[in-house]
Amino acid sequence: MPSGITVLLVVILAALFVTRRRIVARWDSPRARTAGTAGLIVAALLTVATAVGLLAGAGVLPPGPVRWISAVGLTWLATIFYLLITLIVLGIAWVGARIAVRLRPGLADGARRLLRTIAAVGLIGAVTATVYGLFEASSPRITHTDVALPAAPAEPGELKIALITDLHVGPVRTRAFTQRVVDATNAQKPDVVILGGDLIDGTVEQIGEYLAPLKDLRSPFVFAVTGNHEYYADDARNWVQRWREVGVRPLINESVRIWRDGPRGGSSVTFVGVNDRKGKEPLGPDYDAALAGVSPGEFTVAVAHEPKQATEFARRGVDLQLAGHTHGGQLWPFRYLVRLDQPTIAGLEQVDGMPVYTSRGAGAWGPPVRVAAPPEIAIVNILSR
pLDDT, averaged in runs of 10, over the chain (385 residues): 68 80 76 84 89 89 94 94 89 84 80 84 92 96 96 86 97 97 98 97 95 96 96 91 97 92 74 93 92 90 97 95 97 94 96 97 96 97 89
pTM, whole model, 2 decimals? 0.91
185 contacts: CB under 8 Å, gap ≥ 6: 162, 164, 193, 217, 377
Residue 71 · residue 368 · CB < 8 Å? yes
Give residue 20's pLDDT: 78
Q: So what's the pLDDT on residue 87?
A: 85
pLDDT of residue 159: 94
Nearest to 276 by CA among 195, 367, 374, 181: 195
Q: What is the pLDDT of residue 5?
A: 65
CA–CA gap between residue 189 and residue 187 (Å, rounded): 6
Between strands 376-384 and 159-164, the pairing is antiparallel
Tally of residues, the chain: 385
Q: What is the pLDDT of residue 4?
A: 62
